[in-house]
């Protein structure tokens, strides 16, 4: 699946929709992984951990890094999924989105909000996960995984 998750920043209604969307996607992915392997990719619009953004302290109250949002990813991972990038890279400084208005990409002041998640049963098949920061043209950059079937 390649999914663009809601941003949630326009209003309280949009934010609640974002949380509901996460809940429904988690339920759906859990059901699916009982029948088949699952690869979920996309702009999740949440930086999961403090290492997933350049300025966590300054963004503690920002949509995209609120505890209630981050808990959604934790719950998803705890239900049997793996963050493929964190299998290989444990340190901070690796981002997939930068604010174009502030030219933050030039300073690498970004957020990692684009992910590849796989069900745990196939995580050992993932041979590489990367963020292609040298690819320009958007406020996001491509991400990739390589895997053996």
Domains of the chain: which residue ranges?
A: 2-147
Quick one: pLDDT band at residue 48, thresholds 50, 70, 90?
A: very high
Question: Per-residue pLDDT tens for 68-109?
Answer: 999 999 999 999 999 999 999 999 999 999 999 999 999 999
Q: Is the pLDDT of residue 10 over 90?
A: no
The region, left, alpha or beta by phi > 0 then psi within -120 to 50, assigned to residue 8 is: left
Burial string for 102-118 (b: 16+ CB within 10 Å, else e) reads eebbeeebbbbbbbbbb
Beta strands in the chain (DSSP E): 2-4, 39-43, 81-83, 97-98, 110-111, 114-119, 126-131, 143-147
Catalytic residue among 43, 52, 83, 114: 43
CATH 3.90.650.10 fits 2-147, yes or no: no
**Residue 39: which of 143, 112, 140, 123 has the closest Cα?**
123
Give kind and range of the element (H or E) at residue 61: none
129 forms bridges with which residues in the sheet? 145
Catalytic, 43? Answer: yes
**Rounded to 5 degrees, what angle do the CA atoms 54, 92, 132 make?**
90
Residue 63: partners with Cβ closer than 8 Å, 6 or more residues away: 7, 8, 9, 15, 69
Q: Average pLDDT in the 53-73 region?
A: 97
* 3-class SS of residue 46: coil
pLDDT score at 81: 98
Rounded Cα distance between 16 and 51, Å, is 25
pLDDT score at 77: 98
Q: What is the CB-side half-sphere exposure of residue 146 using CA atoms within 13 A?
A: 5
């Amino acid at each position: 699946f390649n999914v663009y998750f809601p941003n949630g920043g326009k209003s309280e209604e949009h934010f609640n929709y974002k949380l509901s969307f996460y809940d429904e996607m988690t339920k759906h992915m859990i059901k699916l992984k009982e029948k088949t392997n699952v690869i979920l990719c996309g702009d999740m619009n949440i930086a999961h951990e403090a290492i997933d953004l350049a300025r966590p302290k300054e963004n503690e109250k920002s949509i995209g890094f609120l505890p209630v949002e981050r808990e959604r990813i934790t719950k998803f991972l705890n239900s049997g999924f793996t963050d493929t990038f964190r299998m290989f890279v444990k340190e901070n400084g690796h981002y997939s989105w930068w604010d174009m208005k502030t030219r933050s990409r030039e300073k690498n002041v970004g957020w990692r909000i684009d992910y590849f998640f796989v069900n745990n049963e196939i995580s050992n098949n993932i041979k590489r996960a990367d963020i292609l920061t040298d690819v320009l043209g958007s406020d996001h950059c491509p991400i990739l995984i390589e895997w053996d079937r």
